Amino acid sequence: MSRLRVVIVGGGFAGLAAARGLDRSPVDVLLIDRTNHHLFQPLLYQVATGGLSPAEIAQPIRAILQGQKNLSVLMADVVGVEEGRLIVSGSPPIPFDRLILATGLVPSWFGNESWPERAPGLKSLDDALELRARILGAFERAEAAESAEERERRLCFVVVGGGPTGVEMAGAVAELARRVLRLEFDRIADQTARVVLVEAGPRLLPMLPEPLGRRAADDLRALGVEVLTETRVEQMDDQGVETTQGRIEAATVVWAAGLTAEAWGERLAAETDRMGRIVVDRDFRIPGRPGCFAIGDVALWRDSKGAALPGVSPAAKQAGTHVAKVIQAELSGGRPPEFRYLDKGTMATIGRSRAVGVVFGRSVTGFLAWLLWLAVHILYLVGFRSKLLVFFQWVWSYLLNRPGVRLITGRLRRG
C-alpha cells in the first residue's frame, strides 16, 4: 500500500509547524513555496528602515527542515487546483492525498490599480528592500533639493494603516529621521522630517484594548508623528496623497492598510469572508473539500463563541501542529484532540524603548513592554544564528543610537 502524500503550500509559521508535526509519521510530505526561504514577517519593517539585514530575518526552508527524512521541498508557484492535483508553474501537476494551504495574506489596495507602485506594501523581502531604498533615498534627494518646498516634500513620509505594521513603521521612520538627520546630513540637518500615520478607523491598533490604542497614539506623537484617525486616502499620485482631511505632499508612501487572501477560495469553490479567507471547521478542514485544510492567515477559524483566530505567529504555529495531529489521527483510526488556542498575546513596538500589548491577558506598556517585545521576537525567530545576530544588532543599535544597515540598493524610482 502506498504512503499518504501530504502537500503543504506555504513555508511560513503555519506551514513549517505542519511539516514538523508530521516528522516520523508514515506519510510523504512535500512543502511548496514560491520562495526558497522562511520569512519572519513581524520584523520586515526593521529591514525597511535599516535596522536589520534580510539575512537576519530569513532562513532557507531546506536548511530549517534539514534532516526530516519524509519531507521534500519545491520552490514553485501554485497557480491552480484540480481534483487531487495541484497545478504548478514550470512543473507537471502534483498529486496529493491531503492538501494543507498555508499561503498567508497579501496586501490589498482595494482595487486601486495604480496605488501599489506609488505605495508599496510590506509582505516580502523585496517589499522591504524597495521601501528601504525609497526611505533612505528620500533623505539623499532632500539633501540635493534646490527649493524648500521640494525638500519638505522629500522629507514627508505617509504611512497608511493604523494596525501593528503601520504603527511600528511610523515609529521606526520617525526615529530614523531624527537620527540620520542629526548625524549624517548637512543641508537638511536643521530640518525636521514629517511622518504622518493615516488610519480610516476611529483609533489605532483595533485588535488591542482601547486604552492601549490611545497610548500608542500618544507615544507616536511624542516621537513627532502626526496621527490622523477617521481619515481615508481617496487619491494618490507621484507628488502625494489626497485624504478626507486634505492633501499631503509626500514623496514616500507606505501601504499598511489592507490585506487579502489569494484566489484559493475561488479555486476550491470554498466559502470565504470579505478578505478572501477560507472558512474552515474546528479542525481546519475546508467544508466540501475532503482531504483539504487551510491554516494560518488564509483561514478563518472561529471558536464556539464566534471569536476568530487572530493572525499572529503563535496562532499559525498552533494551527499547523493541530492539523498534523488530525492527519495522524486519521491514519491511526483515532480521534484528534480538540483544538484550543492558547492566546499568548499581541504586541506592537513604537520606536525605541516603547511598546504596547497584551501578554497572557495583561496589558503592558512602556519600557517593560518593549523588553518583552524584544524577547518574544527573538524567541520566535527561526535558527540560533538569526537569534544571535538580531540580538547583537539590537544591542549595538541601542548603544550607538543609530540603525546599522543604511544601504540603498537597486535603482531609485522617479517621483
What pLDDT, on the 0 to 100 scale, is given for residue 387? 77
Outline where 35-124 has alpha helix (H).
Answer: 44-48, 61-64, 115-118
Q: At residue 349, what is the residue type?
A: T
Q: Among 56, 130, 152, 168, which one carries the catalytic annotation?
A: 168
pLDDT at position 401 is 62
Ranges of CATH 3.50.50.60 domains, the chain: 4-34+76-105+261-332, 115-256
Spatial separation of the C-alpha atoms in residues 29 and 6, rounded to whole Å? 5
pLDDT at 2: 74
- pLDDT (tens digit, 9 = 90+) per residue, 42-92? 999 999 998 888 988 999 999 999 999 999 999 999 999 988 999 998 889
Residue with the larger pLDDT of the pair 403 and 318: 318
pTM: 0.92
* pLDDT computed for residue 201 by the predictor: 96
CATH match of 115-256 with 3.90.1150.10: no
pLDDT-based confidence at 189, cuts 50/70/90? low
Please indicate whether residue 113 is annotated as part of the active site. no
Task: Please name the helix (run of DSSP H) or strand (run of DSSP E) that holds residue 7, with its range, or none.
Answer: strand 4-9
Round to whole Å and give the CA distance between 35 and 32: 9
- Which one of 3.50.50.60, 1.10.10.60, 1.10.110.30, 2.40.50.320 gives the CATH number of domain 4-34+76-105+261-332? 3.50.50.60
pLDDT digit string, tens, across residues 347-389: 999 988 899 999 988 999 999 999 898 888 888 888 767 777 7
C-alpha cell at 111: 482595487
Q: Say how far residue 401 (Cα) sits from the centre of its chain.
A: 25
